[in-house]
Amino acid sequence: MSSTADLTLVTGATGAIGQAVVERLTDGGHPVLALDRDPTALDGLQNRFGAQVHTHACDLADLAATPDLLADLLERHSPLRRLVLNAGVWPTAPIVKMTDEIWEENFAVNVTSPFMFLRGLVPAMIEAGGGAIVCTCSRNAHRSSTNNAAYDASKAALLALVRTAAGEFARDQIRVNAVSPGVISTPSTAEIEEEPFRSTYLRQIPMNRYGAPHDIAGVILFLLGEDAGFVTGQDLIVDGGQIACQDSSRLMEAEAEGESP
């Protein structure tokens, strides 16, 4: 069993948001247990952040292997009192062309894996006196988009899981929350930087920019920390005001173009 205290488990740790979370945690002196399916990227993460980062390669889509994975993590690192369930996938297709494999991969990684982590890790967290869990959800849990039925449905299901878990674990001093990013500029979403998409889409975001990974990491760190000690069952939407101000932004756009509201 690891003697390192205060480990925070982060799934999807080598992605843009995951790396931003790891950076914020290690900058604050918090060691990290980084999980990802890419061993090479994990090696790069450990080289970047040093001894504060412990890595474990795993494929969260392999649900049959997850119980053994969790047992191994508990044996090595228990108790894990802070979880950032950040891993996600988004293979897409129109509904009538969507294969079972696309649907099942979205739900396996985005919903069933977080469920299994909660089921497998929370009992030790309860014995340790409580903890904090943050799941990376999506604005698509609130506003759907075409050709993304599996992703949208899986993120809505994840949000429902967060709320149910928050109610079940609250008496054990375990807080469970979600953060729902809007459009985030990362290396894997280069197409959103291209014109005319960029300028057209930015008109829907009142803050007139895409989010950055550190925008999401900061919210996750808040939800993990003591300042959020009375916050549970919540979803913080981090989208530059897109959803909340959607009607207002459309009105402002129409006025700017000289149209009648």
pLDDT digits (tens, 9 = 90+) for 140-185: 999 988 999 999 999 999 999 999 999 999 999 999 999 999 999 9
* pLDDT for residue 90: 92
**Residue 136 near residue 179 (C-beta atoms within 8 A):** yes
Q: Map tokens 């090479």 to a residue.
A: 40
pLDDT of residue 258: 54
Question: Picking from 16-25, 55-64, 148-157, 186-195, which range would have the lowest pLDDT averaged per residue?
Answer: 186-195
- Given a contact cutoff of 8 angstroms between Cβ atoms, the answer to whether 73 and 80 are in contact is yes
Give the SS3 label for residue 140: helix
Q: Is 151 a catalytic residue?
A: yes
Query: Quick one: pLDDT at residue 218?
Result: 98
Q: What is the pLDDT of residue 195?
A: 85
Looking at residue 1, what is its pLDDT?
A: 38
pLDDT tier at 186 (50, 70, 90 boundaries)? confident
Average pLDDT over residues 1-22: 85
Residue 247: pLDDT above 70?
Answer: no
Q: Which residue has tokens 């990362």?
A: 186
Is 236 in a helix, a strand, or coil?
strand
> Are the beta carbons of 32 and 14 closer than 8 angstroms?
no
Residues 62, 42: Cα–Cα separation, whole Å: 18
The average confidence (pLDDT) of the chain is: 92
Q: How far apart are CA 148 and CA 35, in angstroms?
A: 26
Tell me if 184 sits within 8 A of 213, measured CB to CB: yes
Give percent of the chain with pLDDT exceeding 70.
92
Q: Is the dihedral of CA 94, 95, 100, 101 positive or negative?
A: positive
Percent of the chain at pLDDT > 90 equals 81
From 49, 90, 117, 151, active-site residue: 151
